[in-house]
Amino acid sequence: MSDRESLLNRFARYVSIDTQSSESSQTYPSTEKQKDLLRVLVSDLAEAGLGDAAMDEWGYVMATLPSNLPPGHPSLGKVPTIGFLAHVDTYHEMSGKDVKPQVHRDYDGGDIVLPGDPSVVIRAAEEPELAACKGMTIITANGTTLLGADDKAGVAEILEALWRLKEDPSRLHGTIRVAFTPDEEVGRGTEHFDVKKFAADFAYTVDGSGVGELEDETFCADSAHVTVTGADVHPGYAKGKMVNAVRVLADLIMALPPDRTPETTEARQGYLHPINVGGNVSEAKAHLLVRDFTEEGLRELESVLQDAADRTGRKYPGSKVAVEIKESYRNMRYVINAHPEVVDYAEEAIRRTGLTPKRTSVRGGTDGSRLSYMGLLTPNLFDGSMNFHGKKEWIPLEWMEKAVETILSVLDVWVQKSAR
Ligand SMILES: [Zn+2]
* CA-based radius of gyration for the chain: 24
Residue 195 has pLDDT above 90, yes or no: yes
CA of 157 from ligand 1 middle (Å) equals 14
Average pLDDT over residues 209-221: 94
Q: What do you get for the CA distance between the two ends of the chain, in Å?
A: 39
- Tens of pLDDT, residues 274-311: 999 999 999 999 999 999 999 999 999 999 999 999 99
CA of 405 from ligand 1 middle (Å) equals 20
Give the C-alpha separation, 274 to 304, whole Å.
14
The model's confidence at residue 208, banded by pLDDT at 50, 70 and 90, is confident
How far does Cα 215 stand from its chain's mean position? 10
Average pLDDT over residues 44-65: 98
CA distances from 70 to 74, 75, 174, 294 (A): 9, 10, 10, 45
CB 388 within 8 A of CB 213: no
Cis status, amide bond into 151, omega within 30 of 0? yes
Give the C-alpha separation, 362 to 272, whole Å.
17
CA of 150 from ligand 1 middle (Å) equals 5
The model's confidence at residue 88, banded by pLDDT at 50, 70 and 90, is very high
Please give the model's pTM, rounded to 2 decimal places: 0.89
Residue 382 has pLDDT above 90, yes or no: yes
Residue 420 has pLDDT above 80, yes or no: no
Percentage above 70 pLDDT, the chain: 100
Within 10 angstroms of residue 297's Cβ, the number of other Cβ atoms is 18
Give the C-alpha separation, 72 to 65, whole Å.
20
CA of 205 from ligand 1 middle (Å) equals 9
Residue 19 has pLDDT above 80, yes or no: yes
CA of 272 from ligand 1 middle (Å) equals 24
Average pLDDT over residues 92-99: 94
**What single-letter amino acid sits at 261?**
T
CA of 110 from ligand 1 middle (Å) equals 27
Residue 218 has pLDDT above 90, yes or no: yes
Helix (H, G, I), strand (E, B) or coil at 169: coil
Q: What is the pLDDT of residue 103?
A: 98
The region, left, alpha or beta by phi > 0 then psi within -120 to 50, assigned to residue 18 is beta
CA of 242 from ligand 1 middle (Å) equals 49
Residue 1 has pLDDT above 90, yes or no: no
Give the CA-trace dihedral at 292, 298, 301, 305, to 10 degrees: 130
Cα angle vertex 280, ends 275, 281, to 5°?
130
Q: What is the pLDDT of residue 332?
A: 93
User: If you average pLDDT over every residue of the chain, what do you get?
Assistant: 96
Give the CA-trace dihedral at 395, 39, 84, 19, to 10 degrees: 40
Mind giving me the DSSP string for 78-117? TSPPEEEEEE--B-TTS--TT---EEE-S--SS-EE-TT-
**What single-letter amino acid sits at 5?**
E
Average pLDDT over residues 158-169: 97
Cis status, amide bond into 257, omega within 30 of 0? no
Q: What is the pLDDT of residue 133?
A: 97
Helix (H, G, I), strand (E, B) or coil at 217: strand
CA of 120 from ligand 1 middle (Å) equals 22
Residue 218, beta-bridge partner list: 362
Give the C-alpha separation, 380 to 399, whole Å.
16
- Tens of pLDDT, residues 355-374: 999 999 999 888 999 999 99
CA of 208 from ligand 1 middle (Å) equals 5
Give the C-alpha separation, 292 to 363, whole Å.
8
Average pLDDT over residues 238-266: 97
CA of 181 from ligand 1 middle (Å) equals 11
Nearest to 58 by CA among 152, 191, 179: 191
Mind giving me the DSSP string for 20-67? B--SS--SSSSSTTHHHHHHHHHHHHHHTT-TT-EE-TTS-EEEEE--
Q: Which residues contact 59 (CB under 8 A, 6 or more apart)?
A: 28, 29, 34, 35, 38, 181, 182
CB 183 within 8 A of CB 28: yes
- Catalytic residue positions, numbered: 89, 184
Percentage above 90 pLDDT, the chain: 96
Average pLDDT over residues 97-125: 97
Backbone angles phi, psi at 93, to 5 degrees: -105, 15
Q: What is the pLDDT of residue 325?
A: 98
